[in-house]
Amino acid sequence: MNKPGPTDDRIWRALADPVRRALLDALAAAPRTTGDLVEAEGQLCRTAVMKHLDVLVDAGLVVVRREGRRRWNYLNPVPIDRICRRWINKHQRRMGSALNRLKEVVEAGPIPVTKRKRVKVKRTEKAKR
C-alpha cells in the first residue's frame, strides 16, 4: 500500500479550494491558455488565476507548456488517480459491500416486528418534583 507523502498533502490542499477545482474542471474539457481561464473564471483577475494555477502546478495537477507568449495549461490526471486509488476506492469498496448487504436484507422481505412489553418505572419522590 502506498503511504501518503508530502505531494499528497499538496494535492489535497490544491483540491480544497473551489476556484482551483473550477479551473481543473475547465481543463478537464480541453487544454486552455491562461487568458482563456481568466475569461472563463470571470470574477478573478489574471494575477489571482495565475496564483491558483501555480498551486495546481506545484501539486502536479497542471502541466504548463509555453508557446511563444502563450502559456498552455493541461490537466494532469495522474495525481488525482493516485489519490483516488489510495483513499477513495478503499472506502468505496467498504460502502459498496455494506449497500449490497442492505439490499439483500430489503429484498429478503419484511422483517417480523415483535411487540415490546412496556416496563413501568417507579419514580422516586425527588424525581416527581
- To the question of pTM greater than 0.75 for the whole model, the response is no
d(CA 129, CA 113): 37
For the chain, where are the alpha helices, taking DSSP H only?
A: 6-15, 18-29, 34-41, 46-58, 78-83, 89-107, 125-128
Chain centroid to Cα 42, Å, comes to: 24
The tens digit of pLDDT for each residue in 51-97 reads 999 999 999 999 999 999 999 999 999 998 888 888 777 777 777 77
C-alpha cell at 47: 494575477
Give the amino acid at 25.
D
Count of Cβ atoms closer than 10 Å to residue 49 Cβ: 20
pLDDT per position as a tens digit, 13-62: 999 999 999 999 999 999 999 999 999 888 899 999 999 999 999 999 99
- Sketch the domain layout of the chain as residue ranges: 1-109
For the cut 70, the answer to whether the pLDDT of residue 1 exceeds it is no
Indicate the CATH number for domain 1-109: 1.10.10.10
Report how far residue 105's alpha carbon sits from residue 87's, in angstroms, rounded to the nearest whole number.
28
How many other CB atoms are there within 10 angstroms of residue 62's CB atom?
23
Distances (CA, A) of 98 to 52, 91, 109: 39, 11, 18
From CA 6, how far away is CA 18, in angstroms rounded?
Answer: 21
